[in-house]
Amino acid sequence: MTTKGEAFAGLSVAITTPFKDGQIDYPTLRAQIDFQVAAGTKCLCPVGTTGESPTLSHEEHDSVIAEVVQMAAGRIKVMAGTGSNSTREALRLSKHAARASADAVLVVAPYYNKPSQEGFYQHFKALAEAIDIPICIYNIPGRTGKNIEPETIARMAELTNITMVKEATGSMDQASQIMALSNLTLLSGDDSLTLPLLAIGGRGVISVVGNIVPRDMIALLSAFEAGKMAEAQQWHRKLFPLCRDMLGLATNPIPIKAAMRLLKRDTGELRMPMTPLSPAEEARLRSTLAGYGLL
């Protein structure tokens, strides 16, 4: 069965928002986009979790989406982060992204206020009726405080332009249930679970580690697609220490920003309340990057 969001199968990268002296660093953002285009990445996901969207002003959020679309210039797809725990705010952001010519929107489950399953459904239905570009449901209960149940996701899948789900529950049973109940394109929301999710029918990943090694993640996806399971497993094992550290050393995007600073691709600057890695954590990250052959 062909999945609804097949155009977004493959590698999407949840890009960081570079800062310099507290302001958005647009020249570095452009360099990061060019880096992803050169690697063959399918899609960029600006202003999501990795893009520090919680600390961007509304103006900055809109500006980053518009700039990324403009800098991408049709060379790579753009799936903009437009979620909020206020339906009105998510509508405003999503409409703006559609007007700015984003190819799709990535919408996190409303967080903190913990709606009922009916509330989740009505939130996404309101968005689906307001815009005509594809919508990716982003389910990450570890951050939002509540799971969107597979049955609710299957209900949402009946809405024409809800075409994808970014699955970050860590539950293979949940992912399997979504695929049994719907024809949504399932994308991994955890780098280290990409291969297991592909094995049960997932079609790609929205990656953090892809900020630094997009070609290696593409190699894993391509090997799996070609039926070369041993090769895909080899890439999985190689990537695993990096994937583990990016989400395990500290909250995302603290480790990936530190890694990009060590690789001289970003200032590494974060916005409060995010704070840098401790010296011990940075030493461990440095050792992982060296072990991978990046330093």
Residue positions annotated with a catalytic role: 138, 166
193, 185 Cβ separation under 8 angstroms:
no
- Contact of 4 with 157, CB cutoff 8 Å: yes
Tell me if 51 sits within 8 A of 249, measured CB to CB: no
What is the C-alpha separation between 210 and 39, in angstroms, rounded?
10
Distance CA 109, CA 124 (A): 9
How far is Cα 142 from Cα 126, in angstroms, rounded to an integer?
Answer: 24
The number of beta carbons lying within 10 Å of the beta carbon of residue 254 is 19
| Contact predicate 188/175, CB 8 Å | no
Burial (CB count within 10 angstroms: exposed 0-12, middle 13-18, buried 19+), residue 85: middle
